[in-house]
């Protein structure tokens, strides 16, 4: 046993739980913890420019690699409330992050002390656990419980609030004998998997819907193995994109109202049976259950019991970690294959591939107009970045079009906040991914409004030498909201453009595009390039790569788009509206056709 400050016990427990990196913003009420972090020197720290930004960095860090848990630290009051969006985003997508806040001394609680707020009560709806630790001796056990909860069952975030005097108090604690608590994850039984395979065998046109739970379980290889053994096509959700490579013969496209391909929706509608693994039947994937479920049966496998039947009642439900279920699926399917018990799905799989290769199911990308259409931008990105690229994005027409036209080939190479979709998420999340993996080919994708929300975090990338490419598609509009306002016959308060008096000679700002992103980015210590035509994109990417190597800072490529482009979407998966031209030949969709060449 050793005597130490409670704050030191917290640091030691984090070390034992595998934490090597934190993000945050120090302040008076949390300085006792920072003092111990400095004394130990074992946990690196990246200083955010905004505490919400630091929370999204922690998210990006967690999402980038299996086993990571991002840590975000802030002072009391507004630091905690700034973290709420990050906690919400993490909880919505089952991402474990640990947020730590300072708090007023216990004697000052409930007395309207400066920057004192009941942050635990505020955070409870968006965390697995939120607590203010009132006894110094409970600090190490609170942190032990936090890591246990974050990793067990459905992963998710935790907030620990530490009063100043609690952190400063001395306690007895023996870190040498500390052990993390055993993680609990429910696992399917063999009998359940056999029943599921029996139901699949009875179906004529089955599909697998692969959700983000497969990525959380680090089970993408198992998914591909099972799909190949059983011969069943796979539709990844947006959060499960990359679980099976886009160019795999059994990848059947994404389904949904927005982030989908025409062949993905068509394949789902042609199916008669769906096995959902690690997914939550999000409404932008399903549309209404009446359309999505009509004419087909469902099995739903999820780690969280209350997810089964939340959106609609499946024909069979299994509570299980996706990895544990898929391990059994692979084992039992191999046994059945050897015994000749698995049905031949080659004709059905070929039918799904046929939809993927048929030009009528592919959208045109090869536009030559200036200002550019976004479809051509994504075509250029596909050509330039290759199969190893990792994309980071959040919400808006930029992300929706990106999901329709870009390609992803590996798990954790499409990093996207799914349910919450907070604007501003992309820059800090990309920085968190870069901290987690310094070598990954990393490209962020934003519209101009998402980019402006937390643009100050680019200074973090400059200060801490965190290079990546950030593609900003600029139409000077709240594009997604403008498009939805069509239903109200208005275009109201969604224009971002204005004549920038400080850039009168610039051909973009003079045209009323407003913010001069190149100057702002350079002022934050990064590099930026503005492009107008498709032939400028590839050279800009080469220049960006050279600058990253030379200066080790983020490089922004701003692409000027036409002001109004409506991206395909609809109210049901059988009623997606195509606003732009459809492809009429191979030249119209060179990258889409190359997907299966």
pLDDT tens digit sequence for 476-508: 876 677 777 788 887 777 787 777 877 755 555
Q: Give pLDDT, residue 594.
A: 45
Pair (152, 106) in one structural domain? yes
Pair (486, 354) in one structural domain? no
Pair (394, 341) in one structural domain? no
The domain that holds 207 is classified in CATH as: 3.40.50.1220
Q: How far is the C-alpha of 127 from the C-alpha of 8, rounded, in Å?
A: 24
Q: How far is the C-alpha of 554 from the C-alpha of 557, rounded, in Å?
A: 10
Whole-prediction pTM value? 0.94
Residue 121 lies in a domain: yes
Q: Give pLDDT, residue 593.
A: 41
The structure tokens 């190149």 sit at 518
Residue 548 lies in a domain: yes
Residue 71 lies in a domain: yes
Pair (275, 389) in one structural domain? no
Pair (42, 105) in one structural domain? yes
Q: How far is the C-alpha of 512 from the C-alpha of 518, rounded, in Å?
A: 15
Pair (90, 199) in one structural domain? no
Q: How far is the C-alpha of 400 from the C-alpha of 562, rounded, in Å?
A: 17
Q: Which string of DSSP letters, residue by residue, matches 41-81?
A: --SEEEE-SSHHHHHHHHHHHHHHSTT--EEEEE-STHHHH
Residue 156 lies in a domain: yes
| Intervals of the chain under pLDDT 70 | 359-361, 478-479, 504-511, 585-586, 589-597
**Whether 463 contacts 445, CB under 8 Å:** no
Residue 10 lies in a domain: yes
Pair (340, 371) in one structural domain? no
Q: Number of structural domains, the chain?
A: 3
Residue 118 lies in a domain: yes
Pair (438, 552) in one structural domain? yes
Q: Give pLDDT, residue 138.
A: 97
Q: Give pLDDT, residue 237.
A: 96
> How big is the CA angle at 6 (ends 61 and 17), to the nearest 5 degrees?
35
Pair (100, 207) in one structural domain? no
**Measured between alpha carbons, how far is residue 519 from residues 42, 528, 530, 556 in Å?**
37, 8, 11, 11
Single residue among 326, 358, 390 that ends a domain in this structure: 358
Q: Give pLDDT, residue 513.
A: 79
Pair (354, 373) in one structural domain? no
Single residue among 177, 207, 241 that ends a domain in this structure: 177
Residue 585 lies in a domain: no
Pair (403, 532) in one structural domain? yes
Residue 587 lies in a domain: no
Domain that holds residue 211: 190-358
The number of beta carbons lying within 10 Å of the beta carbon of residue 580 is: 15
State in Å, rounded, how far the first CA of the chain is from the last one: 65
Q: How far is the C-alpha of 48 from the C-alpha of 72, rounded, in Å?
A: 10
**Whether 55 contacts 86, CB under 8 Å:** yes
The domain that holds 12 is classified in CATH as: 3.40.50.970
Single residue among 177, 199, 234 that ends a domain in this structure: 177
Pair (376, 352) in one structural domain? no
Catalytically active residues are 25, 51, 423, 478, 481
Q: What is the CA radius of gyration of the chain?
A: 25
């Amino acid at each position: 046993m050793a005597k130490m400050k409670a704050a030191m016990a917290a640091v030691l427990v984090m070390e034992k739980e595998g934490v090597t990196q934190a993000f945050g913003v120090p302040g008076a009420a949390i300085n006792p913890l920072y003092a111990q972090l400095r004394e130990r020197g074992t946990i690196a720290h990246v200083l955010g420019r905004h505490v919400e930004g630091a929370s999204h960095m922690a998210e990006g860090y967690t999402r980038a690699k299996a086993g990571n848990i991002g840590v975000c630290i802030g002072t009391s009051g507004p630091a905690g409330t700034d973290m709420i969006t990050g906690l919400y985003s993490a909880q919505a997508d089952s991402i474990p992050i640990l947020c730590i806040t300072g708090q007023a001394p216990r004697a000052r609680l409930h007395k309207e002390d400066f920057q004192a707020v009941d942050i635990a009560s505020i955070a409870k709806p968006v965390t697995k656990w939120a607590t203010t630790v009132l006894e110094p001796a409970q600090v190490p056990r609170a942190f032990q419980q936090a890591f246990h909860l974050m990793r067990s069952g459905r992963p998710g975030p935790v907030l620990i609030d530490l009063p100043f005097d609690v952190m400063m108090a001395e306690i007895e604690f023996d870190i040498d004998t500390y052990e993390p608590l055993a993680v609990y994850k429910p696992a399917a039984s063999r009998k359940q998997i056999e029943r599921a395979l029996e139901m699949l065998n009875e179906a004529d046109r089955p599909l697998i819907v692969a959700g983000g739970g497969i990525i959380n379980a680090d089970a993408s290889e198992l998914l591909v193995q099972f799909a190949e053994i059983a011969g069943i096509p796979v539709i990844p959700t947006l959060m499960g994109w990359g679980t099976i490579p886009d160019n795999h013969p059994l990848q059947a496209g994404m389904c949904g109202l927005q982030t989908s391909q025409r062949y993905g929706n068509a394949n789902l509608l042609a199916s008669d049976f769906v096995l959902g693994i690690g997914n939550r039947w999000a409404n932008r994937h399903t549309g209404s259950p009446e359309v999505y479920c009509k004419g087909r049966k469902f099995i739903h496998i999820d780690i969280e019991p209350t997810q089964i039947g939340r959106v609609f009642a499946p024909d069979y439900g299994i509570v299980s970690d996706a990895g544990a279920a898929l391990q059994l699926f692979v084992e039992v399917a191999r046994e059945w294959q050897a015994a000749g018990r698995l049905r031949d799905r080659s004709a059905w799989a070929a039918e799904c591939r046929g939809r993927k290769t048929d030009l009528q199911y592919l959208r045109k990308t090869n536009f030559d107009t200036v200002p550019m259409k976004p479809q051509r931008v994504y075509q250029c990105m596909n050509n330039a970045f290759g199969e190893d690229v990792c994309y980071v994005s959040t919400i808006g027409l930029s992300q929706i079009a990106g999901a329709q036209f870009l390609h992803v080939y590996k798990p954790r190479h499409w990093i996207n906040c799914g349910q919450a979709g907070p604007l501003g998420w992309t820059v800090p999340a990309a920085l968190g991914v870069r901290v987690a993996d310094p070598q990954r080919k990393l490209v962020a994708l934003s519209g101009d409004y998402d980019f402006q929300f937390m643009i100050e975090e680019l200074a973090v990338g400059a200060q801490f030498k965190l290079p990546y490419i950030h593609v900003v598609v600029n139409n000077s509009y709240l594009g997604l909201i403008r498009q939805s306002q069509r239903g109200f016959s208005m275009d109201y308060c969604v224009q971002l453009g204005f004549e920038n008096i400080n850039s009168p000679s610039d051909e973009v700002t003079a045209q009323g595009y407003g913010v001069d992103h190149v100057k702002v980015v350079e002022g934050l210590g990064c590099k930026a390039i503005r492009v107008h035509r498709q032939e400028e994109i590839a050279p800009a990417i080469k220049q960006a790569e050279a600058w990253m190597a030379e200066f080790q800072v983020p490089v922004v490529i701003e692409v000027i788009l036409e002001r109004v482009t409506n991206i395909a979407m609809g109210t049901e998966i059988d009623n997606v509206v195509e606003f732009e031209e459809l492809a009429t030949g191979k030249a119209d969709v060179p990258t889409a056709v190359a997907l299966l060449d």
